[in-house]
Structure 1
Amino acid sequence: MHLSYCTNVHAAETLDGVIGQLDTYALPIRQRLGSDVLGLGLWLAAPAAAGLAADPGARRRLRSELDARGLEVVTLNGFPYEAFQAPVVKLGVYHPDWTSRRRLGYTLQLARVLVDLMPDEASYGSVSSLPIAWRTPWDGTRASAAYGHLDELARGLARIETETGRTVKVGFEPEPGCLIENTTQAAELLAGVDTGRLGVCLDLAHLAVAWEEPAEALHRLRAAGVPVVKVQMSAALQADDPIAAAGVLRAYVEPRFLHQTRSRGGDATDDLDTALDEKTPGPWRIHYHVPLHAEPVAPLTSTIPVLRTAVRELLATSDCAHYDVETYTWGVLPAEQRPRDAGGLADGIAAELAFARDLLTAERVTR
């Protein structure tokens, strides 16, 4: 089993910037945890991925820099294409989608890079990707293009395995508002793909926001033959009485990311400010990744109970080996919860990883 944290929380988008963040964040985090090795769920923006894929020397350099700091990479986050920490991201994160050859090329470049970064003992590498596309617009022409690209993706991954002897799998990440929002849609829309190489990246915050019950969700995927190739350990924001908590919730309204909001009753809005303005009845779960180890300000809570249940079910029923902590929202948390400097962010990520490590260890011991 590999536990990592996702580096899309950092803004670096060039190879030099990625290497620089290793000393600023990753190495201090490893030292805070007292670990010999720290896993990174590396995010490489499209220009950096293209440069690395075309230059074996650059890949050797990055692997050497990782090894020198006691860092390992078995998974890459291939959902954001670039500019993920820009002032405004919102719907831009879903472009280019799987109707575009740019998305196909980027993902295969990531796979090519990953085989040279993985430690020798890793049984496979994983790349997470967006769940095909945002739900609109969608028609037969776009569907034909997307599924054609998924077929090409599977063939490309097979070629990489033939050439290198290393297996890379791609997991499509169900997310609120997208073509694949939940495991019901994942089971339906991914059942016909090459499930030996393609599957699901299960983000546990997204699972909670969809109000899915973990055991049922995992059974649904197994029944459809769709594997979980990667798990993102994340928690969403919850408001049992959003009208009463509106003043506290307003502090979470921010311009960078979408915060899709779903009520237990089935009401759906694509951003938190809209849900607040419309006074949608609660309870709500909100696509706002909050730190795993720290409860939000009362009366808000997080979906950590869903995460705990999901981890228990995953360890009992899945052979997924990649668990990645993905709290990319540290920089947009309400001001009083935001880290003040790089050291504060390293402290927070280390605390999240310690929480995840302890949870995984405890659940494995009790099995």
Structure 2
Amino acid sequence: MKLNSGHLTYCTNIHPGKNWTEDFEALKLNLPLIKQSVSPGKQMGLGLRLSNEASLALSQPAALTEFKQWLKDNETYVFTMNGFPYGEFHRTVVKADVHTPGWVTESRRDYTLRLFHILKELLPQGMDGGISTNPLGYRHWYTTEGSLKEATEKGTLHVVEVISELIRIYNETGKVLHLDIEPEPDGMMETGREFIDWFEGDLLSLGIPAISEVFNLSEADAEAQIRRHLMLCYDVCHFAIGYEPHAEIISELAAKNIKVGKIQISAALKADLNKPAAERGQIKKAFDQFNEPVYLHQVVARQQDGSLLRYLDLPEALEDFDNAYVQEWRAHYHVPISIQEIGLLSTTQQDIIEVLTIQKNNPFTNHMEVETYTWEVLPQQIKLPIAESISKELLWVSSKLA
């Protein structure tokens, strides 16, 4: 739905589906209920997530025509998509395979191009459209600095090929489409700082000469095209886990003319561990109820000297829970954003409020997307019916932006 500060939606990766048939059925079941709650009588935006298999099916003209008609009939429009998870995303072990295939592969490039051609057909005139994607790959696939550097270069070149196609689409249709890189813990880009360094280093150094040659542009014009079509996906959960200063990052991005394509509105778990031993033991039990086997739940701990200690997943962190030098935990687990306290644990809801306040007062993107994809693996005590849960979150965001 369109608010004063931009388009707001939710990401359909919360709905389990192995293929387009199942995805479409989930939308038919849930979206009318959600729309009636949050956007009655007005158009509602949709953040579409398609697996590779689903994207192949929806690329077929008959399927795409049927979906476009359904969107029209239900006063719904697609303006953003989630191209991060390539394969199945529910009811199977995902973990680090959420990054598979990485940007070093042609498969990731081709999947992303296919998503953009679908979005080109679905996007209403006069709107920009974005697709979020993984931060080139999973950092721990590469055991040496040399192999990581080589993978970064190869992945960046594939990203530049996608940018080239987005320039062609813009020249043909006038539609501005952008690829939104999403840093996350243990990704090849984990932080805002790493994204900015990659953008100003690898992307521009490799992209400017390539775009200049393909389109016969000056270096300045080639750079302008890159800045139009490559943006940051600002996942609040991911940035909060790393204790990143939101206002400083957003200000630096603006100063450097690096655009934010989308805010993904999401919350992490956190807890103050500077407690007596007995209370710490109860906090450990509280975290353990979120120790589920489907997704990666990286933990970033803040130590007494302010340094950060990173754990690959919640089980490894729980094994080191008695580390007395650790003062705070933040865990990658997308919990409902409208909740501030979950028993002895807290959420990073305040980070969301800070980012939304900046967006409200000085909008820095057109796209906002609630992304609480963990509904199926949430503890029962905080799990509402799925359509009610999504509606509650969208209404909570709308109230903060009002």
Quickly name the TM-score band, shorter chain normalised. Answer: over 0.9
- Tell me the distance in 2 between the aligned counterparts of 1:64 and 1:120: 16
2:236 aligned to 204, 219, 222, which one?
204
Letter in 2 for 1:323: M
- Tell me the distance in 2 between the aligned counterparts of 1:34 and 1:2: 12
Q: CA deviation at 1:167?
A: 1.4
1:80 paired with 2:85, answer: yes
Find the residue that maps to 1:267 and give its secondary structure: strand
- Tell me the distance in 1 between the aligned counterparts of 2:242 and 2:105: 27
- Tell me the distance in 2 between the aligned counterparts of 1:128 and 1:38: 20
Which residue is 1:312 aligned to? 357
- Tell me the distance in 2 between the aligned counterparts of 1:292 and 1:48: 28
1:40 aligned to 32, 42, 46, which one?
46
Pairing 1:287-306 to 2, within 5 Å after superposition: 287-306=332-351
Kindly provide the CA deviation profile for residues 173-209 of structure 1, in whole angstroms up to 9, marking residues without a partner as x.
0101111111000100122342220010000011100
Q: Is the 8 A contact 1:188 1:224 kept in 2?
A: no
1:166 paired with 2:175, answer: yes
Which residue is 1:353 aligned to? 394
1:276 paired with 2:318, answer: yes
Find the residue that maps to 1:225 and give its secondary structure: coil
Q: Which is greater in Rg?
A: 2
1:286 aligned to 319, 331, 348, which one?
331
Q: Is the 8 A contact 2:357 2:400 kept in 1?
A: no
Pairing 1:21-170 to 2, within 5 Å after superposition: 21-35=26-40, 36-53=42-59, 55-122=60-127, 124-136=128-140, 137=142, 138-170=147-179
- Tell me the distance in 2 between the aligned counterparts of 1:157 and 1:328: 28
- Tell me the distance in 1 between the aligned counterparts of 2:234 and 2:139: 18
- Tell me the distance in 2 between the aligned counterparts of 1:220 and 1:134: 26
Kindly provide the CA deviation profile for residues 143-188 of structure 1, in whole angstroms up to 9, marking residues without a partner as x.
2211110110110111122233211101100101111111000100
Find the residue that maps to 2:84 and give its secondary structure: coil
Letter in 2 for 1:104: R
Letter in 2 for 1:135: R
- Tell me the distance in 1 between the aligned counterparts of 2:296 and 2:247: 27
Kindly provide the CA deviation profile for residues 120-165 of structure 1, in whole angstroms up to 9, marking residues without a partner as x.
242x000000011111214343222111101101101111222332
Calculate the TM-score normalised by the size of structure 2. 0.85
List runs of 5+ in structure 2 lacking aligned partners: 1-5, 205-225, 274-279
Kindly provide the CA deviation profile for residues 243-271 of structure 1, in whole angstroms up to 9, marking residues without a partner as x.
54011111000000011111123011011
Kindly provide the CA deviation profile for residues 333-364 of structure 1, in whole angstroms up to 9, marking residues without a partner as x.
1132234xxxx111111000100111122xxx
Q: CA deviation at 1:14?
A: 2.5
Q: Is the 8 A contact 1:184 1:220 kept in 2?
A: no
Q: CA deviation at 1:317?
A: 4.3
Which residue is 1:254 aligned to? 292
List runs of 5+ in structure 1 lacking aligned partners: 362-367
Which residue is 2:270 aligned to? 238
Q: CA deviation at 1:310?
A: 1.2
Aligned length in residues: 355
Pairing 1:168-187 to 2, within 5 Å after superposition: 168-187=177-196
Find the residue that maps to 1:283 and give its secondary structure: strand
- Tell me the distance in 2 between the aligned counterparts of 1:159 and 1:270: 40
Q: Is the 8 A contact 1:49 1:110 kept in 2?
A: yes
- Tell me the distance in 2 between the aligned counterparts of 1:298 and 1:60: 47
Which residue is 1:365 aligned to? none
Kindly provide the CA deviation profile for residues 58-82 of structure 1, in whole angstroms up to 9, marking residues without a partner as x.
2222111112122211000000001
Q: Is the 8 A contact 1:183 1:220 kept in 2?
A: no
The two structures, once aligned, show a CA RMSD in angstroms of 1.6
Calculate the TM-score normalised by the size of structure 1. 0.92
Alignment identity in percent?
32
Q: CA deviation at 1:311?
A: 1.6
Q: Is the 8 A contact 1:182 1:210 kept in 2?
A: yes
Alpha-carbon spacing, 1:276–1:64, altered in 2? closer, same or farther (3 Å): same
Q: CA deviation at 1:34?
A: 4.6
1:267 aligned to 295, 299, 309, which one?
309
Alpha-carbon spacing, 1:120–1:58, altered in 2? closer, same or farther (3 Å): same
Select between 180-189 and 216-225 the one with higher mean Cα deviation: 216-225
Find the residue that maps to 2:238 and give its secondary structure: helix
Alpha-carbon spacing, 1:187–1:316, altered in 2? closer, same or farther (3 Å): farther
- Tell me the distance in 2 between the aligned counterparts of 1:140 and 1:246: 37
- Tell me the distance in 2 between the aligned counterparts of 1:147 and 1:204: 24
Find the residue that maps to 2:139 and give its secondary structure: coil
Alpha-carbon spacing, 1:243–1:190, altered in 2? closer, same or farther (3 Å): farther
- Tell me the distance in 1 between the aligned counterparts of 2:12 and 2:239: 21
